[in-house]
């Protein structure tokens, strides 16, 4: 059975689809048995593509993006091995939705996997910003990938 990872942000059009594309790229390159997707805490953009600035930042960095926004559902806690919130607000919302302690234990912040992050574990929302803000988000996502991939490799080995 594959290891299942999902990223969660607000509307599922900026940060979480970006993180999804980056992780998917890395697990495919390594041939890891991992399913990757994303969703949002809100349903405003359900069915929409990723924000055009997200797509542009991903393409500029050599990543692919195929995405349709969706809203996280409580029933999904049983499906995922790791649920990665993009900021503290998402973390709180997901913990409030979690049906039990086991589900809460699956929720982490993406930047926990970046040793250089220090106490600043939020990935800022670039929605109201410029293309440079989207590029900054991509840098933060990429900085967390080595640690996240190590976590996934360990889970697959131990699993």
Residue pLDDT, tens place only, 30-45: 999 999 999 999 999 9
Catalytic residues: 9, 15, 125
pLDDT in tens, 84-124: 999 999 999 999 999 999 999 999 999 999 999 999 999 99
What is the chain's mean pLDDT, rounded?
97
Domain boundaries, the chain: 3-154
pLDDT of residue 128 exceeding 80, the answer is yes
111-120 long-range Cβ contacts below 8 angstroms, 24+ apart: 111/140, 111/143, 111/144, 112/144, 112/147, 113/144, 113/145, 113/146, 113/147, 113/148, 113/150, 113/151, 114/140, 114/143, 114/144, 114/147, 115/147, 116/143, 117/143, 117/144
pLDDT in tens, 8-32: 999 999 999 999 999 999 999 999 9
CATH number of 3-154: 3.40.50.2300
pTM value > 0.75 = yes
What pLDDT is attached to residue 37? 98
pLDDT of residue 145: 98
């Amino acid at each position: 059975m594959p290891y299942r990872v999902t990223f969660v942000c607000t509307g599922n059009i900026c940060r979480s689809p970006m993180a999804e594309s980056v992780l998917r790229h890395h697990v495919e390159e390594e041939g890891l048995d991992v399913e990757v997707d994303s969703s949002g805490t809100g349903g405003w953009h359900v069915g929409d593509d990723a924000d055009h600035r997200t797509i542009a930042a991903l393409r500029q960095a050599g990543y692919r993006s195929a995405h349709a926004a969706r809203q996280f559902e409580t029933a999904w806690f049983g499906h995922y091995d790791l649920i990665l919130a993009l900021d503290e607000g998402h973390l709180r919302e997901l913990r409030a939705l979690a049906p039990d302690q086991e589900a809460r234990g699956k929720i982490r912040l993406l930047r926990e996997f970046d040793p250089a992050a220090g106490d600043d574990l939020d990935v800022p929302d670039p929605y109201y910003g410029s293309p440079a803000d989207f590029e900054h988000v991509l840098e933060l996502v990429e900085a967390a990938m080595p640690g996240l991939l190590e976590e996934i490799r360990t889970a697959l080995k131990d699993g």
